[in-house]
């Protein structure tokens, strides 16, 4: 691995997950081959976008799909599409939204660091309180002719006090307002996408560069044909708000290849392999006097995806943040998550061969007294 070393950087062992800041995910050889081939010829980008959308929709068993430069770009594109649906001639005006429906409703507990993507399109987030049993009533009160869409965070679906997606979608649909789900990193399971569409989501936005293992700067909008068509009319290579969110031909072709692999991957076998790695992490660390370790499945939003178990390690002589820092600057360098006073070891991007290496690195990092 010399490209990073040539730049004076060390490759990381990734026990953190499909986190953008450490590279998202790794590409399968088939995906790289497709990208290399795509780089060898010119092609009509509009036609490539359209065909890629068809192939992705077929692979994932959804009505329609649109390729974007990541899930965050997908949120911007979906917002712009929701704002200008019946006024295609107004797309070029965005992000100046005067005269257009410019409000994106979000349940308060669903607010997150990615929802800035909505503002990029020219909309603003209007919070709906969801802490009471009257939340659907609150939602009805928040609706107006300025409402363009509601953005729903897939990872917040189990939040106490959050009404079910189906109930929220039903209220919105009485008024013809689309529900857009941010599910960027919330697969596996793959079936979640279909499930949320069946429950009433109009669009589901997914990262290409996380669990799907496509190019890191890719994403997709999946869902209802008419809305996806509006998204495609906003998305690259069109001029307008999404013009800066470029998806090159290699990325588009690579994403199609990755999605087609993703649709066929054996999720049960992958989950079993991840369980085995967590068991080995827990067993390898269990005897260490400098830490406590346990298997943990996430119960609250904030770290995704919730479906993958982790090994949680509580260092006894230093803060979790200090141990994570040591691991990151160690040799080998290991990236881990921090959740409160524990470090979270996620098997999602680990290989079985890396597990003993991570165990030894964690033991060393925890043995140092701060
Ligand atoms: C990662 C993530 C995004 C952004 O996805 P990109 O594909 O990196 O643009 C948006 N929302 C959530 C919840 C995410 O985890």
Q: 236 and 294 share a domain?
A: no
Atom of ligand 1 minimally distant from the CA of 185: 15
Any domain includes 33: no
Last residue of a domain, one of 264, 279, 295: 264
Predicted pLDDT at 303: 73
Burial (0-12, 13-18, 19+ Cβ within 10 Å), 178: buried
Residue nearest to atom 14 of ligand 1 (CA): 184
Q: 12 and 114 share a domain?
A: no
Task: Spell out the per-residue pLDDT of the chain, length 370, in tens.
Answer: 689 999 999 999 999 999 999 999 999 999 999 999 999 999 999 999 999 999 999 999 999 999 999 999 999 999 999 999 978 788 999 999 999 999 999 998 899 999 999 999 999 999 998 555 557 889 999 999 999 999 999 988 777 777 899 999 999 999 999 999 999 999 999 999 999 999 999 999 999 999 999 999 999 999 999 999 999 999 999 999 999 999 999 999 999 999 999 999 999 999 999 999 999 999 999 999 999 999 999 877 777 888 999 999 999 999 999 999 999 999 999 999 999 999 999 999 999 999 999 999 999 999 987 6
CA of 363 relative to ligand 1 center, distance in Å: 32
Q: Which spans in 175-301 are helix H?
A: 191-199, 225-234, 249-264, 267-286
CA of 236 relative to ligand 1 center, distance in Å: 18
Residue nearest to atom 2 of ligand 1 (CA): 184
Query: What are the DSSP E strand ranges found in the chain?
Result: 12-15, 64-68, 103-107, 124-128, 147-153, 179-182, 203-207, 219-223, 291-296, 310-315, 333-339, 342-345
Binding site membership of 207 for ligand 1 (Cβ less than 6 Å): yes
Counting ligand 1 atoms within 8 A of each CB, the residue from 24, 72, 196 with the most, and so the one to mutate, is 72
Q: 152 and 169 share a domain?
A: yes
Counting ligand 1 atoms within 8 A of each CB, the residue from 184, 216, 219, 254 with the most, and so the one to mutate, is 184
For the four alpha carbons of 151, 200, 198 and 68, in that order, the dihedral sign comes to negative
Atom of ligand 1 minimally distant from the CA of 75: 10
Last residue of a domain, one of 232, 264, 296: 264
Structure tokens at 312: 């949680």
Decide: 188 and 199 in contact? Cβ < 8 Å: no
Phi, psi for 272 (deg, rounded to 5): -65, -40
**pTM flag (> 0.85):** yes
Counting ligand 1 atoms within 8 A of each CB, the residue from 18, 20, 155, 208 with the most, and so the one to mutate, is 20
Q: 92 and 113 share a domain?
A: yes
Q: 144 and 270 share a domain?
A: no
Q: 270 and 136 share a domain?
A: no
CA of 261 relative to ligand 1 center, distance in Å: 21
Q: 78 and 187 share a domain?
A: yes
Last residue of a domain, one of 264, 298, 323: 264
Q: Which domain holds residue 136?
A: 42-264
If one counts the domains in the chain, the total is: 2
Predicted pLDDT at 132: 58
Binding site membership of 358 for ligand 1 (Cβ less than 6 Å): no
N-terminal to C-terminal alpha carbon distance within the chain: 33
Atom of ligand 1 minimally distant from the CA of 210: 7
Decide: 51 and 253 in contact? Cβ < 8 Å: no
CA of 122 relative to ligand 1 center, distance in Å: 19
């Amino acid at each position: 691995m010399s490209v990073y070393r040539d730049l004076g950087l060390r490759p990381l062992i990734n026990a953190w997950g499909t986190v953008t800041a450490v590279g998202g995910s790794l590409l399968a050889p088939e995906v790289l081959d497709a990208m290399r081939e795509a780089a060898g010829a010119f092609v009509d980008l509009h036609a490539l976008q359209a065909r890629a959308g068809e192939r992705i929709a077929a692979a994932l068993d959804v009505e329609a799909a649109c390729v974007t430069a990541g899930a965050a770009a997908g949120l911007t594109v979906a917002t712009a599409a929701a704002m200008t649906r019946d006024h295609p001639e107004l797309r070029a005006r965005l992000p100046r939204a005067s005269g257009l429906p410019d409000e994106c409703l979000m349940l308060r507990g669903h607010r997150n660091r990615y929802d800035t993507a909505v503002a990029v399109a020219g909309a603003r987030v209007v919070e709906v309180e969801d802490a009471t049993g009257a939340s659907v009533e609150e939602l009805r009160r928040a609706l107006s002719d300025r409402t363009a869409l509601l953005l729903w965070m897939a990872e917040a679906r189990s939040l106490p006090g959050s009404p079910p997606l189906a109930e929220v979608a039903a209220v919105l649909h009485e008024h013809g307002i689309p529900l857009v789900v941010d599910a960027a990193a919330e697969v596996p399971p793959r079936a979640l996408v279909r499930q949320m569409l069946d429950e009433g989501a109009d669009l589901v936005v997914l990262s290409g560069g996380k669990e799907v293992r496509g190019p890191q700067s890719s994403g997709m909008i999946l869902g209802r044909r008419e809305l996806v068509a509006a998204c495609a009319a906003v998305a690259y290579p069109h001029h307008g708000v999404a013009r800066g969110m470029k998806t090159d031909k290699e990325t588009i072709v690579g994403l199609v290849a990755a999605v087609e692999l993703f649709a066929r991957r054996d999720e049960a076998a992958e989950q079993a392999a991840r369980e085995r790695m967590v068991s080995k992490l827990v067993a390898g660390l269990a005897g260490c006097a400098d830490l406590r370790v346990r298997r943990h499945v996430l119960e609250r939003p904030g770290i995704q995806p919730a479906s993958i178990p982790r090994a949680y390690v509580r260092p006894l002589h230093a803060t979790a943040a200090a141990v994570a820092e040591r691991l990151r600057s160690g040799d080998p360098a290991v990236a881990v998550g921090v959740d409160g006073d524990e470090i979270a070891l996620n098997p999602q991007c680990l290989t079985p061969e890396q597990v003993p290496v991570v165990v030894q690195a964690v033991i060393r990092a925890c043995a140092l007294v701060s």
